[in-house]
Amino acid sequence: MAISWDFAVLSRGVAGQLHLFDDLVATLDPDDFQRPTRLGRWRVAELVAHIGVANIARYLTGEPASQPEVDTVAWVRGAATVAQDVDERATAMADEARPAELRSGVHELRVAVDRTLGDVEPSFVVPSRFGALSVADYLATRCVELAVHTLDLQAALGRDAELDKDAAATATRLLLNALATIVPGRSVEVRVPPYAAVQCVDGPRHTRGTPPNVVETDAVTWLELATGRQPWTGAVEHGRVRASGERADLSTLLPLLS
């Protein structure tokens, strides 16, 4: 299921979320880089290294592909296939670099992306590792990556969750669309106000008034559920998810991306 993206929103989302991440990294002292994260064996050092070695600017300025081969749903499905490579790169970088170098890597990425985004044509096709993506779809996936890893860093540091509104909107829409595509149907409505709502899960279709099976949550919770940071049961028990109806249990469908 294709999504119609606003290129200006995508660009603002990538730049805005990267600015938030960079500003947060700039406040870290050397001991902070040794803090554990919720990403398995990764410390803050590996998390920061992972963002710092991202090739966003290079992908946007390289030789374009001829036409898109995959979309954002294919990206969600394929992300797990590169997890080991991502882990190895981040671990190697964190082992070799000092905190000042890790900070510098993120800041240099921020500067390069700011410089690059204004020159990218909306028709550009990005030859990513998953297959060629339209530049709009590619930027949308970067909003997911940057938003979720900013939440990871904030959680590791005990900070309140904060997201750029355009990145949050884009990431929410992308992952809701993936859910509706992977588990098609009209029996459950999943709402993440104010950003988007989708219907999914096969079963009786509701056509009038409020659907009998409704899931509603906020953007931060949805991103954490969809990427395996938050277990479904815990989110429901703590009131972060409101689920009504006998089909409104997404525990077997999530996470979509991890």
Q: Tell me what pLDDT residue 203 has.
A: 82
3-state per-residue secondary structure call for the chain: CCCCCCHHHHHHHHHHHHHHHHHHHHCCCHHHHHCECCCCCCEHHHHHHHHHCCCHHHHHHCCCCCCCCCCHHHHHHHHHHHHHHHHHHHHHHHHHCCHHHHHHHHHHHHHHHHHHHCCCCCCCEEEECCEEEEHHHHHHHHHHHHHHHHHHHHHHHCCCCCCCHHHHHHHHHHHHHHHHHHCCCCCEEEEECCCEEEEECCCCCCCCCCCCCEEEECHHHHHHHHCCCCCHHHHHHCCCEEEECCCCCCCCCCCCCC
- Rounded-to-integer distance, Cα 20 and Cα 223, Å: 17
Mean pLDDT across the chain, nearest whole number?
94
pLDDT band at residue 79 using 50, 70 and 90 as cut-offs? confident
Asked if residue 245 lies in contact with residue 215, where contact means CB atoms within 8 angstroms, the answer is no
Asked if residue 21 lies in contact with residue 149, where contact means CB atoms within 8 angstroms, the answer is yes
State the CATH architecture for 183-244: 2-Layer Sandwich (3.30)
Q: Could you read off the pLDDT of 92-148 as tens digits, one per residue?
A: 999 999 999 999 999 999 999 999 999 999 999 999 888 999 999 999 999 999 999
C-alpha atoms less than 13 angstroms from C-alpha of 20 in its C-beta half-sphere: 25
Q: Could you read off the pLDDT of 54-69 as tens digits, one per residue?
A: 989 999 999 999 999 9
Q: Where are the domains of the chain?
A: 7-167, 183-244
Query: Taking the model in full, what pTM does it have?
Result: 0.95
Least confident of 86-95, 145-154, 186-195, 221-230: 86-95
State the CATH architecture for 7-167: Up-down Bundle (1.20)
* CB crowding 154-187: b at 16 or more within 10 Å, else e: bbbeeeebebbebbbbbbbbbbbbbbbbebeebb
pLDDT band at residue 2 using 50, 70 and 90 as cut-offs? confident
Asked if residue 229 lies in contact with residue 258, where contact means CB atoms within 8 angstroms, the answer is no
Residue 90 clears pLDDT 80, i.e. is over it: yes
Q: Tell me what pLDDT residue 211 has.
A: 65
Q: Tell me what pLDDT residue 208 has.
A: 58
Domains 7-167 and 183-244 share a fold: no
